[in-house]
Amino acid sequence: MQAISALAGQNYAAARPATEPQGTGTAGEAAVNLARDFTATLQQAEQTAQAAMTGGADPHALVQALAQTELAVEAAVTVRDKVVEAYQEILRMPV
């Protein structure tokens, strides 16, 4: 019974950092990190697509890469739309 408790404790300790909030930086730093992650996702998908065309990657990896890219692009478009909406709202405010 103690071995199971110890194993559960180790698994919890290993999983805990993944659930903690990351960074307490500024909004600018968060935007830069977001742009880097977006770029990395697109580059990884492109490399996977090229490997699939030459026979170096399986079709499942290609589908996963394309799905991740689609999700990243949809998120970027949503953020852009929200920024444009906020900017337009600011322009409508009386001075």
Q: Is the pTM of this model over 0.85?
A: no
Which residue, 65, 17, 26, 60, is CA-closest to 43? 65
pLDDT above 90: percentage of residues in the chain: 28
Distance CA(82)–CA(58), nearest Å, equals 37
Compute the 3-state secondary structure of the chain and give helix, strand, coil in percent, each to the nearest 5.
85, 0, 15
Least confident of 31-35, 64-68, 86-90: 31-35
Distance CA(10)–CA(69), nearest Å, equals 34
Distance CA(63)–CA(80), nearest Å, equals 26
Distance CA(47)–CA(64), nearest Å, equals 13
**Looking at residue 1, what DSSP letter applies?**
-
pLDDT at 4: 58
Q: For 37-73, how does the pLDDT look when each residue is reduced to its tens digit (9 = 90+)?
A: 989 989 999 999 898 888 887 888 889 989 999 999 9
**Looking at residue 24, what DSSP letter applies?**
-
